[in-house]
Amino acid sequence: MREEKGMTSSGSREREIAIVGVAESDEMGTVPNKSSLQHHAEAAHNALADAGLSKNDVDGVFTAGFSTMATAEYLGIQPRFTDNTSVGGSSFVIHVAHAIAAIKAGYCEVALITHGQAGRSTRGRVPGDPNLPVAQYEAPYGMVGQPINYALACSRYMHEYGEDRARQAMAEIAVSTRKWANLNPKAAMHDTPMTFDDYHDSRYVAWPFHLFDCCLVTDSGASIIVTTAERARACRKEPVWVLGAGEGHDHNLISMMPSLTSLIARETGPKAMAQAGISHDDIDLTMIYDSFTYTVMLTLESLGFCGPGEVADFVAGQRTAPGGDFPLNTNGGGLSYSHPGMYGSFLLVEAVRQLRGEAGDRQVHRKGTNDQNPQISLVNGTGGSLSSTGTVVLGTG
């Protein structure tokens, strides 16, 4: 019998809630013949199979972007609990904490967190609500999309800490992330290497962002199954435990962001780590939402891995690439693996696979070892215009 309760490396937390299944949709990249709901369904089916469960076991449905009613109906599930919290790409990381709360309150027992989006095949300008603040106060002045919004914030960072240092960090992150994608057969850029020259020579999208500072736009889906320790005992694979979680958002409009060089991860990260009873030194793998290279830079600083303006030194020398001592975004990230529009679910999928030792050529190891699977992973999702954050700490054992 597996032990459903135990301690973290610092010896402080019981194991109560586990992730027992993760998966992507069958096809990823450019899939013009499949709808967003089909990606939802494939990912959910695959994650349930990974857990050794069926859709009849699911009594809680969590998603964003799509209505949980439409999603559950398409999947043939009648949930006892439903959560459609939608705060951008961080939503699915935040759903983990919501699933924990629902399970502990007795509202559900097996929670399906699912996302699917034909982000590439259904691209097009969608009319917005003219009454929303963004339409009234930002769009008339050219703030009409995330590349522009994030570029605005990045330009402020360059003003405060230096353009050369910022560009150094951006290039290091883009190139190292592509190297991870080259090891991932499911990555859109699996067969496309990137050099530093390739990065610097790529066209500008919105200054100061080059093309390779920006995430992909793909078709894909991903799902995660969360359940109790008791149910986890009967699942196919060893559970990955949720040890801590934090969530929050501090603005909607980029023009209302309290500081363009600091994310609310500065609050959610310490909260999640304190719940888990860990420090930065305990973390073997870090998965950070990379909608843009700047998102990663700001997140690393806001989570406390380095100080404000210090990220260029922190990631220097391909430290986050394969073979480096700080493995980061080991699936290739939103920059080089997949990004259908919202990405947080994919962070969780990769973290679980790495903790299980299922990552193949890109498998990383516990700090200080060459053969032991990682034990602790920090997952951080960002949504909106650097607006929302969900942080989760996952562990094994």
Give the chain's residues under pLDDT 50: 1-12
Predicted model pTM: 0.94
pLDDT per residue over 111-154, tens digit each? 999 999 998 887 655 555 666 788 888 888 888 889 999 999 99
Which pLDDT belongs to residue 129?
67
For residue 289, indicate whether it is catalytic. yes
Give me the catalytic one of 157, 289, 294, 343: 289
116 is written with which tokens? 């699917």
**199 catalytically annotated:** no
Helices marked H in the chain — which ranges? 36-51, 68-75, 91-104, 133-137, 146-161, 163-181, 196-201, 229-232, 265-276, 293-302, 311-314, 333-336, 344-356
**Which pLDDT score, from 0 to 100, does residue 135 have?**
81
Enumerate residues 6+ apart whose C-beta is below 8 A from 24: 43, 46, 186, 220, 221, 222, 338, 346, 349
The pLDDT of residue 133 is 86
Residue among 150, 199, 294, 337 flagged as catalytic: 337
Contacts of 354 (CB under 8 A, 6+ apart): 285, 330, 363, 364, 373, 374, 377
pLDDT at 143: 83
Structure confidence at residue 142 (pLDDT): 82
d(CA 190, CA 36): 23
